[in-house]
Amino acid sequence: MTDPDDFKTRLKIAKSKIKNQLINDNEKRGSFMGNAFKLGTELVAAVAVGTIIGFILDNWFDTKPWLIVIFFFLGAAAGILNVIRAAKKMQKED
């Protein structure tokens, strides 16, 4: 027979373990949210920058619609590249 005191201490240890895990999970969720915010803006910002560069170059060289179209796609590629890089960095951290 195990005595009741032994059971109580074991229960206490188990409960504190669960509590610690919950705190850890909450911290992890916080950093996941940070990463999610990061990825979203990373993609959009590169597209915006690419389009703006295309717009400026179009005005310079008088090639109205073409460069903005090309640079829009280049910007999208840059955005995807950014997201892939950020995701790779996240995977390395885990």
Partner 1 sequence: MASNPMQQFTVHKIGPEIKIAGIDLSFTNASMFMVISASIIILFLYLGSKDKSIIPSKLQLIAEMFYAFVAKMISDTAGSKAKPYFPFIFSLFMFVLFCNMVGMLPYSFTVTSHIIVTLIMALFIFVAVTVIGFIKHGFKYLSIFVPSGVPVVLLPLITIIEIISYLSRPVSLSVRLFANMMAGHTMLKVFGGFVVSLGVLGGWLPLSFSVALTGLEILVAFLQAYVFAILTCIYLNDALNLHH
44 binds partner 1 (CB under 8 A): yes
How far is it between the farthest Cα atoms of the chain?
91
| Binding piece for partner 1, criterion CB under 8 A, among 2-10, 12-20, 35-43, 61-69 | 35-43
55 binds partner 1 (CB under 8 A): no
Using CB under 8 A, pick the residue from 14, 33, 56, 69 that binds partner 1.
33
Give how many residues touch partner 1 by CB under 8 A.
23
| Binding piece for partner 1, criterion CB under 8 A, among 2-10, 12-20, 60-68, 74-82 | 74-82
